Chains A and B, each alone.
Chain A
Amino acid sequence: MKPSPFDYVRATNLTEALALLERHGEQAQILAGGQTLIATLNMRLSAPDWLIDITRIPGLSGITLTETHLVIGALTTHREIERSALVAQYAPLLGQAAPHIAHAAIRNSGTIGGSIAFADPAAEWPACCVALDARFVIQALSGERRVSARTFFRGLYDTDRAAHEIITAIEIPRERAPRRSVFMELARRHGDYAIVGVALLGRVDQGRLSDVAIGYVGAGATPLLAQGAMAALEGQAADADVLARAKAALAQDLDPSGDLYNSPATKRHLAAVLLERAVKQLLA
């Protein structure tokens, strides 16, 4: 397994990387952490003419706090997020999800920006970002723009990012008091892509749920926001009837395709099981 021949450039700053992307467009691939790209190159599933290594560009990595957002640089590794005290305080959902991403050695190289850009619906970060209502900072030579995670993911591996753009940061809204969160997924082996997973956020006041957000992993062509289930739970005490309504709403919210081992019906069943478990854990 040897990759097709390609040219490799290590960009030393963002402008250089963006200029290279402008020039080579679809013929170029960005190397951020290599978690997925290196394997697909070796399997000749992707065969770019140019590989643009952005890993040494200063300023794209690290976790900081602004007045309004928790800002995670695109080149921040999964492992850094997993161990970050800021993340634990302001977006604990991410810390809960991180251990489910592959294995520690891989988490040391894979990056959140790479995961967002690749947009695998079975990956953890996209669903978390959708649930958290995060936005992505996207840079081109012509300027910078911000896109909501809830509109960024357009289809299977298809995003709002154009070929000449680079995601530079993930911005998560700061909350005065962070909501409770639960991340759960079902994978047959630790570290595998999940069959299905759920990211749940919410507040609990006297047994009633509010500000509920539910993101789903592996339940459609993109990470999904389960709006029907969110509405069913919002402002409610999660008794059996409410849970049943929320689970029933998933029928509309989710659109899983089957995989080798699980039919769409099995995935829907498992998604509902996870929702009930996640809600119960959130309330616990």
Chain B
Amino acid sequence: MTLNDLQQTKDAELAARKRIVLRCCLAASCSSSGSKGVKERLEKAVSEAGLQGEVEVRGVGCMKLCCEGPLVAADPANTLYVKVTPDNAAAIIAALRGGKCTLPQADPGSPFFALQEAIVLANCGVIDPERIEAYIAADGYLALHEVLAEMAPKEVVDAIVKSGLRGRGGAGFPTGLKWGTVAKSPGAKKYIICNADEGDPGAFMDRSVLESDPHLVLEGMAIAAYAVGADQGFIYVRAEYPLAISRLQNAIRQAKRVGLLGSGIFESPFNFNVDIRIGAGAFVCGEETALMASVEGKRGTPRPRPPFPAERGLWDCPTLINNVETFANVAPILRRGADWFAGIGTEKSKGTKVFALAGKIRNTGLIEVPMGTPLRRIVEQMGGGAPAGGAIKAVQTGGPSGGCIPAPHLDTPVDYESLTKLGSIMGSGGMIVMDETTRMVDVARFFMEFCMDESCGKCIPCRAGTVQMHQLLEKILARRATARDLAKLEELCDMVRNTSLCGLGQTAPNPVLSTLRFFRNEYEELLQPELHAAPPLTAKA
């Protein structure tokens, strides 16, 4: 593959493009509500109407408004049909010919779509994720070519540093700094890992990216590999994402076939191979050291850091490990420039962030917004607020490691620092909205149960502490607890947070702590009076 070949592929793809495109979402959410059948009927209807020369029915990735699926979009009219059934196919074709259409539609100009800014999701729901030509036609792999042909590895690292990109897995570590550390670590063999073990309840950003634009992630990984001097990559993806796995496998196969992965990429001396490792369903394997143990074929348990993966990771070699969304930002940054990227977002949080909107909200789905967007804009304008006119009570971010942000703080801008200040975290992008019917102690109990079940069992505070915290929460909910139990719960939160081995345990108390901070009255309302007076602390003289 050369730059010329890349251009030819793009030209051929654009030349073959038909006047009208019917985009049919085939990502996990829509296909689980029957979008495959919709696509088949659309194809049939097109050929029956003799429109094959004019209309293309294209299977695409996520079109974001998941709650209204199956979704079908008609270009260039920019019509978005919602809740499409196979029987609607004929009506959609008729509408293409100028007929009157009574099918339910969503307004592509509504705030849900208009307020989005797509970098990571630019191709999502637009291109066919199963064809590498479609990705190339959207300027795919151009950045990789430029990097290999014109940039030294150090320059690539510098560009990422300059862009201000921070890890999208949750903690927000500066990506360029991490790349620089791996690049500087001595060692002939280095590895790249893409963490696609997305496990937070209510989070589906990474799944959507992998299902909708797998080549974007592969290109980002290849660029990273060149920058740090690695030649082997692994994508660790959970087994619960079969569609993402099959699209990745397909994408890797295609990229290898045309020479965009493998040996001598773009006729340079750079080699890079990617393999998939499938997780067996343990949440803790999203923690980087546990993930690496799992890739090595061992029991997926974390180990103390340091040494950090950048020094000693996979098989003790320097390893760069980034999240799916982080890698997905890489190619756009190099294609459009670090300054362009650094111009989006806030002073310390650059670029955009993808969120999965879920819970008690009208528009559930996938959104990508610039960093610093106020939470209120996301949940009220874009999300449409709570269904049936209810009031939003809180927004949970960061999954079991995060916290609840109460309604009075909805004007908080979404960036790493602001969310941390409120006792929550940016997290990987799950955003669960709660309305007045949600009991906050219930929420805390739910997440504690999750952490208890997902604790690997290696360190005592997390293994046994989550069990006791869960029991105390159950006791509070059953109205059997007293103020002393609540004090015990708070003491355990402090202990588990400070003494646990890995991030899972260290952040497991967060949902309790943040609900206690803003909704303490809900806990206190459930407490019972003490049956016995507290024993004297010191013996009487």
Tell whether A and B belong to one assembly: no
B interface list, Cβ under 8 A from A: none
A interface list, Cβ under 8 A from B: none
